[in-house]
């Protein structure tokens, strides 16, 4: 069989086979429900992760502040300079 004949036969067979395929009438409603459910779930997961990150950052910050009180200051450890009296 030459290539043109084979291509024609292939097109004909694929077209006939595709013609037997039926789609469900409620495919759109089911798909829409699923999109919305998964989208809500994705957003909820994102919010929970963001809340956990913020809570962890708060915890670390409070812990650091709590442990910093007993140490001498690092940046301004010299006594403040004397201010000359004004005229």
CB of 79 to another protein, least distance (A): 52
Q: Which of residues 13-42 bind another protein (CB under 8 A)?
A: 13-24, 27-28, 30-32, 34-35, 38-39, 42
Which residue number, 22 or 71, has a Cβ lying nearer to another protein? 22
- What angle (nearest 5°) sits at the alpha carbon of residue 47, between those of residues 61 and 45? 120
Helices (H), 1-87: 3-19, 27-68
Q: What is the rounded distance in angstroms from the CA atom of residue 34 to the CA atom of residue 39?
A: 8
Binding site for another protein (CB under 8 A): 1, 3, 6-7, 9-24, 27-28, 30-32, 34-35, 38-39, 42
């Amino acid at each position: 069989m030459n290539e043109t004949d084979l291509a024609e036969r292939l097109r004909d067979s694929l077209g006939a086979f595709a013609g037997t395929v039926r789609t469900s009438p409620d495919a759109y409603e089911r798909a829409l429900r699923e999109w919305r459910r998964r989208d809500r779930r994705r957003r909820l997961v994102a919010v929970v992760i963001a809340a956990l990150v913020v809570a962890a950052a708060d915890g670390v910050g409070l812990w650091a502040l709590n442990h910093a009180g007993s140490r001498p200051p690092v940046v301004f450890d010299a006594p403040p300079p004397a201010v000359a009296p004004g005229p």
